[in-house]
Amino acid sequence: MKNLAGLLKWLLKAAIFFTLFAFALNNQQDATVHFFFGTQWRAPMVLLVLSAFAAGLALGILGMVPRWWKHRVIAKKAQQPQPPLPTSAATETSRTEPSSPPHGL
């Protein structure tokens, strides 16, 4: 069963590769991108599409960095060992807490 899943993954990757390769072969004609102030960029269509994809990927990653950083800081704080409570504080909290069972049991 594990071998079948690996084979299916490999076939999916091969299908994606050949689809993108065929797309690149079919879009070799030059295209022009007009920027501001009369500047323009002429390049093969597939290069323009690839650069647009890469720019979108970079912007998406940059948009996720603050959240990743926040989760990393929280995870680092969670891994730090907590200092044990002093024995006098531990006995005081156990005296003040009610010893009733939880509701619904």
Both tokens assigned to 48: 């323009």
C-alpha to C-alpha distance for 18 and 8, rounded to whole angstroms: 15
Q: Model confidence over 36-86: pLDDT tens digits?
A: 998 998 988 888 888 888 999 999 999 999 998 998 889 888 888 877 777
Both tokens assigned to 14: 């091969």
Q: pTM, whole model, 2 decimals?
A: 0.50
Radius of gyration of the chain (CA): 29
Give residue limits of the domains in the chain.
Answer: 21-66
Mean pLDDT of the chain: 82
